[in-house]
Amino acid sequence: MKRFYLESYGCQMNVYDTQGLSRLLEDHGFSRVDQPESADVVLVNTCSVREHAEERTLNRLAVLGRLKAANPNMKLGVCGCMAQRMGAEIKKRVPRVDLVVGAQALPAVLPALEALDRGEKFAPRVEPLDHYLPPPRPRFDAKNLKGFVTIIRGCNKSCAYCIVPTTRGPEVSRHPDDLVLEVHELVLQGAREITLLGQNVNSYESGGVDFPELLARCGKVPGQWRLRFTTSHPRDMSRDVMKRMAQAPRLAPWIHLPVQSGSPRVLRSMNRDYTLEHYLEVIAAAREEIADLALTTDIIVGFPGETEAEFEETVALIERLRYDTFYVFKYSPRSGTAAARREDDVPPELKQARLARLLEVQRRLSHEVNQAYVGRTLEVLVEGIDQKRGNVLARTGQNKIVVLPPGSGEAGTFRQADILRAEGQTLHGTLRQTA
Ligand code: SAM
Ligand code: SF4
């Protein structure tokens, strides 16, 4: 039996794809191992969103390639977005790579491996964007408690900085019946939290079902579990959509709504396709419709032409909206995108300074926002034990970790926790005793 080792980089959708790829290989007689040294096939599922991520992956591939000195029969493969974007170029950068399989057709790993066994020469398998061959559904591991379901692939937006439409192609929504069935199966297998995934879940549409309707249908699946989704695009949100979404049963009170910038000019230049007024209106609606909502976002600093005053507009927006937390990225030009044709004119030190400033704001705000939970009682999902200290870890619907004393409850159960204090991003508490 051949052994394979699989590494995954990038977004949750890549994690889902990687799990599907793992299942495909297992179903075809391969067994998964935890160390690349003991594998016959080493595969890396890659991300292209930022240049830094690609450079790190190329370095990692070079390191993995060196394992061939001890095991010349080992095959090294690159899958996913980098493979889709760079194709044969990857082999020029890391000559020890044996196979390259793009994000559009991960199952092509199998015929690619067979071709290598027959001694055929290197030929990257990169399908055109309008041809998508999905890997099988991942096998669910009940001890994870968390299940993920990709509901829509690709992206029809054209944000000026973003490579995703180039590597993942146009949007394709899966049929709602298939999705409800998948959710049902996950719940039966022990999933306690299910996250619906897509680059832009709000533009989901299939068989006359839109995203709020899909949430309602998924939420009706019986059992002890909660529902999340990520990522939403502000353009496809409105007060009305928010009202309908908020009615879905089991919906966790957490929304990740990337704003990218607080400057109206930068937003236009990014081609984000919404105004700041619209974004603020959506946030106001979300906070009115969903009780105890936690809000998170993504920000890009140093987009071409971003002035100090425009950066300050972003800081002001964050202070105003008081996000629970946010992710900050330094702008990274991606070849082939509209922004890459502009001058990357914010110097690296300034990008770094803006990033550091935002992280400082985030630390303060997260701390302040979390203090408001102290003294309250929240529903938590007990997830497991912190191996270092023996504490029990649980998660709120707002996606916040609550640290509980050792022995506090069984993994996989929903309990009420009294929040005693907050430190940074983490809450500390005790479980309410049930009568
Ligand atoms: N579809 C989601 C959306 O529209 O917000 C997220 C897609 S992207 C994989 C995740 C985040 O990476 C984006 O929200 C953005 O902040 C960041 N990102 C994308 N392209 C980038 C680039 N070229 N440079 C820096 N950050 C980037
Ligand atoms: Fe990229 Fe924009 Fe699509 Fe998100 S919505 S994946 S940022 S193009």
Identify the DSSP state of 117.
H
Q: How far apart are CA 164 and CA 174, in angstroms?
A: 19
Q: Is the CB of 199 under 6 A from ligand 1?
A: yes
Ligand 1: centre distance to CA 49 (Å): 7
Query: Taking all residues of the chain, what is their mean pLDDT, rounded to a whole number?
Result: 95
Q: Relative to the CA of 165, which ligand 2 atom is closest?
A: 8
**pLDDT tens digits for range 221-244:** 999 999 999 999 999 999 999 999
pLDDT of residue 372: 94
122-157 confidence digits (pLDDT tens): 999 998 888 888 899 999 988 889 999 999 999 999
Q: Ligand 1: does its nearest atom lie under 6 Å from the Cβ of 84? A: no
Ligand 2 center from residue 162 Cα (angstroms): 6
C-beta of residue 326 within 8 angstroms of C-beta of residue 366: no
pLDDT digits (tens, 9 = 90+) for 350-395: 999 999 999 999 999 999 999 999 999 999 999 999 988 889 999 9
51-54: long-range contacts, CB 8 A cutoff, minimum separation 24? 51/332, 51/333, 51/334, 52/332, 53/9, 53/10, 54/82
The closest residue, in CA terms, to atom 4 on ligand 2 is 199
The pTM for the full model equals 0.94
> Confidence band (pLDDT; 50, 70, 90) for 435?
low
Atom of ligand 2 nearest to the CA of 155: 3
DSSP single-letter state for residue 69: G
Give ligand 2 pocket residues (Cβ under 6 A): 155, 157, 159, 162, 164-165, 199-200, 233
Tens-place pLDDT, residues 262-281: 999 999 999 999 999 999 99
33-80 pLDDT tens trace: 999 999 999 999 999 999 999 999 999 999 999 999 889 999 999 999
Distance (angstroms) between ligand 1 centre and the Cα of 77 equals 26
Task: Give the residue, by CA position, lying nearest to ligand 2 atom 5.
Answer: 157
Task: Return left, alpha or beta for 412; rule: phi > 0 is left, psi -120 to 50 is alpha, else beta.
Answer: left
Cα(170) to ligand 1 centroid in Å equals 16
pLDDT above 70 covers a percentage of the chain that reads 100
Q: Which residues contact 413 (CB under 8 A, 6 or more apart)?
A: 381, 382
